[in-house]
């Protein structure tokens, strides 16, 4: 397979100004007619025109209306080449035949539950017709769709509907015109039996926009929350960024078969139905929150991605990092900002940090790829969002807004690069960002070390920062990064000290907040080693460093346990309050893991117990915050910090701590469950979801006690709950207690929800993630369950993905978990390479484990690589993992 490099980017020789598409949808095959208006970038260009095309049958090819003869062009399995196209402007007319019914890869045009739909990002358009399938080719499109009227009563594409009517033979047609230029990855077509929930939104300039959410008729009642989310997102983007929607119609379609979460096609967003459909009985609070965030995310792409797009796929974070940042901010404003920040940072630590430390580590802007689909990663998305967040931390909200305004002013309608975004932020603010661009090019999570010193006589407090960026594949040596460190200093009264000046780099810098001393300041750490000295500090403070997690780094400091307990109790920055508890928990778990490995008895530190108790019982705190603060760091996060990851020891220790906490705090936890039961009808608002979050966290702790009383309590919650959030939490609590009750309740849940496929996916995931010894056999049986289907990505992610995410059974020492994944990956690759490669990623950190596990995982990767007809997707992940 061919590797593609950023450094080899070349502007296209030809632009496409306009594209007219015509689809004749059929039951066996579909015909695609395309008419492209080509113009050379440089007058007189005589370079060959190379079009991408995969799995296409060429029926006819005309240039300026004349059919081309065989020796005027060349077709192979990937390209159609015109070796000497006309000079100047010309039209190209291409007819291709495709088979959407046989397309199980779910890219290009395919069928999902009887309906036609498309997925063109990143390189799916080449499976529809021959085209320059690259994002810097921006054209205006029209799309005519013809199909059977009874089978496909609804025909949708991008832009405005300009014509529709009936045809002979029970067929009908629709013509859509998109007035905005777009790259082909934003093209979309949907045809099928769908109904819509309609609403309107009046933009701030007074335009009326019709909003339509399309699903099969029976699911329409479950689209209310998605519609609410869409309207909230439209309003938020106007309020916060001054960005208004630009067409009179916005369509959202929910489909059950989709490789990712959703797709921002211009004015025709296509969604995985799990991110649209919700009712209190069939979706949890987490689902409601995900719908809010992803509906927002796709809508926000209309400006950050569609109006201004990426020059090439290496720039993916330009649109994804920025849009994730925007959806994070949206969700923060709609709920609790600190809790959202905690959730986002936890995700970064659990998934992105391990990726940044493994064989697939790549910069936010990768240097090369074999298959672009493999680079829709937590690094590009989540770390990319952290990079955008750092601009805001450095510039403040108004400076950031100025930068965004300039970005749109300069680049509307263009395909641009990460440097263009950087330049807009810099120029709009006259800012000095020194080496900030390294965040785009250097992979690896920087390590930041902080040493403090208080000088009692001089009343100065110094912080010495040193940083190191670890080597990653292809990047053995790194330069120091620009790390914004948001910082506050707490006095012994627990309050923030006023900060007026800091001595740094031979100069005294004043710290002011509109003329007043500040309580938080942002230090610019740019060198390998650097000292900041604060003056007029009356007593030794406790520093609150990296407030709000101001940079995506791993930080070590000389804070003592006493300092951390002090921060846990007093920090005005809620993120750092939570963080202090997490640092204490991580240290505790790692200490006990070492005891466990040496067969020493495990003992819970009483100070830690008291810390958890005081948080649990502090009625002044937000309940959702309490739920987060009493939750221990995940097993993956802990393993990521170990020299040699030991899944059994980490699981045993984490379970021990949970059980001890539950035992010691049984009364408090019991009261928490009792006092937070639902009495009224389900509402997805902060007060109610916080209450449910705390209740469910307490119930999960109690479930770990595995005794009859707790089983009874969880059963009671299971039976009396009126919403899935609480019912499923009760099921999770019961799932921890092996035995008859667990089996009965799992069967009951299936019987109750068997007609709700999204709920059944949760049932698959729960069983897949179970720590019951030898669970691989149960998972194998579930593969044959009538509700399971290897062709449906959601089911694969639930069952196979769920299993691979469970440290105990996936990493079973007998290799049974690895064997299971190896076999399935090969099978799945024949159906859907994108999904298969995502599953194979579970092997990528195999070198982190002991020798026995390493050998077993390596053998599976080698077996996968030796498989016949392996896709490029899986090849890239498996070969890079082995390297």
Q: Which does 579 bind (CB under 5 to 8 A by kind): Zn ion, ligand HT7, none?
A: none
Q: Which residues contact 714 (CB under 8 A, 6 or more apart)?
A: 699, 702, 703, 730, 733, 734, 737
Q: What DSSP state is assigned to residue 221?
A: G
Residues 374, 877: contact at Cβ < 8 Å?
yes
Using an 8 Å Cβ cutoff, are 371 and 873 in contact? yes
Nearer to Zn ion, 93 or 320 (CB): 320
The residue whose two tokens read 């120091």 is: 480
SS3 assignment, position 80: strand
CA–CA distance, 759 with 766 (Å, rounded to integer)? 11
Q: Which is nearer to Zn ion, 307 or 691 (CB)?
A: 307
Residues binding Zn ion: what is the number (CB under 5 A)? 2
Positive or negative, the Cα torsion across 710, 715, 721, 727? positive
Of the two residues 138 and 260, which places its CB atom closer to ligand HT7 in the complex? 260
Could you tell me the two tokens for 683?
């509402």
Q: Shortest Cβ distance from residue 297 to Zn ion (Å)?
A: 5
The CB-of-373 to ligand HT7 minimum distance in angstroms stands at 5
DSSP-based three-state secondary structure for 604:
coil
Please say whether the beta carbons of 583 and 477 come within 8 A: no
Q: Are 160 and 141 in contact (CB under 8 A)?
A: no
Query: Least distance to Zn ion from the beta carbon of 443, Å?
Result: 21
DSSP states of 171-193 = EEEEEEEEEEEE-GGG--EEEES
CB of 834 to ligand HT7, least distance (A): 6
Min. distance of Cβ 414 from ligand HT7 in angstroms? 18
Q: Name which of 23 and 300 has its Cβ closer to ligand HT7.
A: 300
Residue 530 interacting entry, from ligand HT7, Zn ion, none, C-beta within 5 to 8 Å by type: none
Q: Pick the closer one to ligand HT7 by CB: 180 or 534.
A: 180
Asked if 309 and 415 touch (Cβ cutoff 8 Å), the reply is yes
Catalytic residue list contains 298: yes
Q: Give the DSSP letter of residue 205.
A: T
Query: 509 has which bridge partners?
Result: 502
Between 298 and 496, CB nearer to ligand HT7: 298
| Smaller CB separation from Zn ion, 274 or 524 | 274
Shorter beta-carbon distance to ligand HT7: residue 327 or 573: 327
What pairing do the DSSP bridges indicate for beta strands 189-192 and 171-182?
A: unpaired
Our CB check for Zn ion shows the closer of 323 and 798 to be: 323
Q: Cα separation of 711 and 709, whole Å? A: 5
Report the site for Zn ion in 734-753 (rule: CB under 5 A).
none
Q: Which does 624 bind (CB under 5 to 8 A by kind): ligand HT7, Zn ion, none?
A: none
- CA distance linking residue 530 with residue 61, whole number of Å: 65
d(CA 221, CA 193): 16
Q: Smallest distance, Å, CB 804 to ligand HT7?
A: 20
Binding partner of 116, given ligand HT7, Zn ion, none, CB within 5-8 angstroms per partner class: none
Residue 178 interacts, among ligand HT7, Zn ion, none and using kind-specific CB cut-offs from 5 to 8 Å, with none
The burial class, CB within 10 Å (0-12 / 13-18 / 19+), for 193 is middle
Decide which of ligand HT7, Zn ion, none touches 260; Cβ closer than 5 to 8 Å per partner kind. Answer: ligand HT7
Q: 373 is in the binding site of which of Zn ion, ligand HT7, none (Cβ under 5 to 8 A by kind)? A: ligand HT7
Segment 292 to 321, residues that bind Zn ion, using CB under 5 A:
320
Which partner from the list ligand HT7, Zn ion, none does 119 bind, CB cut-off 5 to 8 Å by kind?
ligand HT7
Cα–Cα distance list, 186 to 163, 206, 295 (Å)? 21, 27, 16
DSSP SS3 for 272: strand
Shortest approach of ligand HT7 to residue 15 CB, angstroms?
A: 23
CA distance 623 to 691: 6
Evaluate the CA torsion angle 535, 536, 538, 542 in order and state its sign: negative
Which pair of tokens denotes residue 413?
A: 């309608």
- In angstroms, how far is the first alpha carbon of the chain from the final one? 16
**How far is it, in rounded angstroms, from Cα 331 to Cα 293?**
6
CB of 296 to Zn ion, least distance (A): 11
Identity of the residue, 123 or 635, whose beta carbon is nearer to ligand HT7 in the bound complex: 123
Q: Identify the CA nearest to 637 among candidates 600, 599, 674, 586.
A: 586
- Applying the rule CB under 5 A, the residues between 73 and 112 that interact with Zn ion are none
Residues in 323-342 at the binding interface with Zn ion, rule: CB under 5 A: 323
Nearest approach, Cβ of 260 to ligand HT7 (angstroms)?
4
The minimum distance between CB 22 and ligand HT7, in angstroms, equals: 25
Q: How far is the CB of 294 from Zn ion (least distance, A)?
A: 9
827 three-state secondary structure: helix
Of 93, 123, 264, 298, the active-site residue reads 298
Q: How is the beta sheet containing 73-75 ordered, strand by strand?
A: 49-52, 79-82, 73-75
Answer left, alpha or beta for residue 482, where phi above 0 means left and psi between -120 and 50 means alpha: beta
Q: Which two tokens stand for residue 514?
A: 């509109």
Please choose which of Zn ion, ligand HT7, none residue 811 contacts, taking the beta carbon within 5 to 8 angstroms, the exact cut-off set by kind: none
Q: Tokens in use for 581?
A: 């508890």
Q: Indicate the residue among 146 and 298 with the shorter CB distance to ligand HT7.
A: 298
Vertex 820 angle, CA 817 and 824, to 5°: 145
User: Cβ closer to ligand HT7: 119 or 429?
Assistant: 119
Residues lying near ligand HT7 in the complex (CB under 6 A) are found at 119, 121-122, 259-260, 262-264, 297-298, 301, 320, 373, 376, 834
Three-point CA angle 312, 261, 232, nearest 5°: 100
Measured CA angle at 251 (ends 249, 254), to 5 deg: 170
The b-or-e profile of 764-782 (16+ CB within 10 A means b, else e) is bbbbbbbeeeebbeebeeb
Instruction: Please say whether the beta carbons of 465 and 558 come within 8 A.
Output: no
Give the nearest distance from C-beta 608 to ligand HT7 in angstroms: 39
When CB distances are held under 5 to 8 angstroms depending on the partner's kind, the choice from Zn ion, ligand HT7, none that residue 640 binds is: none
Picked from ligand HT7, Zn ion, none, the partner binding residue 482 (CB below 5 to 8 A depending on kind) is none
Q: Which residue is nearest to ligand HT7 (CB)?
A: 260
The partner in contact with residue 123, picked from ligand HT7, Zn ion, none with C-beta cut-offs of 5 to 8 angstroms by kind, is: none
Judge contact between 450 and 558, C-beta under 8 A: yes
Binding site for Zn ion (CB under 5 A): 320, 323
* Active site residue ranges: 298
């Amino acid at each position: 397979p061919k590797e593609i490099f950023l450094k080899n980017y070349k502007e296209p020789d030809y632009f496409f100004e306009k594209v007219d598409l015509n689809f004749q949808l059929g039951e066996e095959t579909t015909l695609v007619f395309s008419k492209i208006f080509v113009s050379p970038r440089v007058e007189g260009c005589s370079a060959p025109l190379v079009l991408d095309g995969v799995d296409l049958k060429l029926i006819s090819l005309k240039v300026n209306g004349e059919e081309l003869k065989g020796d005027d062009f060349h077709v192979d399995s990937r390209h159609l080449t015109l070796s000497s196209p006309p000079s100047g402007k010309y039209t190209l007319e291409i007819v291709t035949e495709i088979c959407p019914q046989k397309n199980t890869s779910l890219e290009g045009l395919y069928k999902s539950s009887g309906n036609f739909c498309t997925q063109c990002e990143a390189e799916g358009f080449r499976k529809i017709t021959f085209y320059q399938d690259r994002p810097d080719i921006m054209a205006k499109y029209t799309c005519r769709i013809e199909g059977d009227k009874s089978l496909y009563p609804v025909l949708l594409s991008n832009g405005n509907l300009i014509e529709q009517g009936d045809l002979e033979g029970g067929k009908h047609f629709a013509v859509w015109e998109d007035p905005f230029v777009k790259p082909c990855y934003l093209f979309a077509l949907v045809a099928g039996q769908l109904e819509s929930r309609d609403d309107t939104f009046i933009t701030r300039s007074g335009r009326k926009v019709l909003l339509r959410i399309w699903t099969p008729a029976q699911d329409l009642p479950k689209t209310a929350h998605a519609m609410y989310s869409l309207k909230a997102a439209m309003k938020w983007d106007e309020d916060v960024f001054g960005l208004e929607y630009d067409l009179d119609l916005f369509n959202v379609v929910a489909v059950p078969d989709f490789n990712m979460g959703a797709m921002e096609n211009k004015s025709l967003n296509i969604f995985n139905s799990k991110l649209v459909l919700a009712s209190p009985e069939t979706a949890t609070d987490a689902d409601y929150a995900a719908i809010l965030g992803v509906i927002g995310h796709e809508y926000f792409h209309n400006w950050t991605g569609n109006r201004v797009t990426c020059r090439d796929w290496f720039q993916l974070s330009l649109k994804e990092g920025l849009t994730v940042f925007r959806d994070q901010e949206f969700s923060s404003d709609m709920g609790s900002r600190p809790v959202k920040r905690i959730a986002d940072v936890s995700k970064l630590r659990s998934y992105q940090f391990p990726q940044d430390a493994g064989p697939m580590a790549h910069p936010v802007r990768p240097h090369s790829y074999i298959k672009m689909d493999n680079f829709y990663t937590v690094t590009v998305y989540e770390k990319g969002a952290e990079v955008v967040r750092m601009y805001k931390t450095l510039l403040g909200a108004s400076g950031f807004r100025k930068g965004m305004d300039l970005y749109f002013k300069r680049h509307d309608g263009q395909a641009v690069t990460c440097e263009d975004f950087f330049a807009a932020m810099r120029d709009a603010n006259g800012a000095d960002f020194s080496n900030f661009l390294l965040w785009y090019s250097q992979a690896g999570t920087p390590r930041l070390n902080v040493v403090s010193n208080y000088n009692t006589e001089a009343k100065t407090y110094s912080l010495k920062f040193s940083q190191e960026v670890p080597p990653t594949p292809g990047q053995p040596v790194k330069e120091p990064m620009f790390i914004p460190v948001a910082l506050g200093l707490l006095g012994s009264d627990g309050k923030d000290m006023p900060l007026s000046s800091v001595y740094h780099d031979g100069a005294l810098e004043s710290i002011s907040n509109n003329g007043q001393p500040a309580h938080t300041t942002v230090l610019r750490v740019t060198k390998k080693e650097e000292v900041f000295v604060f003056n007029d500090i009356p007593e030794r403070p406790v520093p609150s460093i990296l407030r709000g997690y101001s940079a995506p780094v791993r930080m070590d400091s000389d804070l003592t346990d006493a300092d951390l307990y002090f921060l846990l109790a007093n920090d005005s920055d809620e993120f750092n309050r939570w963080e202090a508890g997490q640092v204490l928990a991580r240290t505790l778990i790692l200490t006990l893991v070492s005891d466990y490995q040496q067969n020493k008895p495990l003992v819970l530190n009483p100070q830690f117990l008291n810390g958890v108790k005081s948080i649990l019982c502090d009625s002044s705190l937000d309940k959702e915050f309490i739920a987060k603060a009493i939750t221990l760091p995940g097993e993956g996060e802990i393993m990521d910090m170990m020299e040699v990851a030991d899944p059994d020891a980490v699981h045993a220790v984490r379970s021990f701590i949970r059980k001890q906490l539950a035992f010691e705090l049984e009364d408090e936890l019991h009261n928490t469950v009792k006092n937070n039961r639902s009495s009224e009808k389900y509402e997805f608002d902060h007060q109610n979801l916080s209450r449910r979050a705390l209740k469910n966290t307490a119930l999960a702790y109690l479930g770990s006690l595995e005794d009859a009383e707790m089983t009874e309590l969880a059963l009671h919650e299971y039976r009396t709950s009126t919403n899935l959030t609480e019912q499923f939490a009760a099921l999770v609590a019961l799932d921890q207690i092996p035995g008859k009750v667990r089996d009965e309740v799992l069967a009951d849940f299936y019987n109750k929800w068997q007609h709700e496929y999204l709920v059944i996916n949760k049932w698959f995931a729960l069983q897949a993630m179970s720590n019951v010894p030898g669970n691989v056999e149960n998972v194998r049986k579930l593969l044959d369950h009538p509700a399971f289907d290897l062709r449906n990505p959601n089911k694969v992610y639930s069952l196979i993905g769920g299993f691979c995410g469970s440290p105990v059974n996936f990493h079973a020492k007998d290799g049974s978990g690895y064997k299971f994944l190896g076999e399935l990956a090969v099978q799945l690759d024949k159906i859907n390479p994108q999904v298969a490669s995502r599953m194979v990623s579970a092997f990528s950190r195999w070198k982190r484990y002991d020798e026995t596990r390493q050998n077993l995982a390596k053998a599976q990767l080698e077996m996968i690589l030796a498989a016949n007809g392996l896709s490029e997707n899986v090849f890239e992940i498996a070969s890079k993992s082995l390297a």
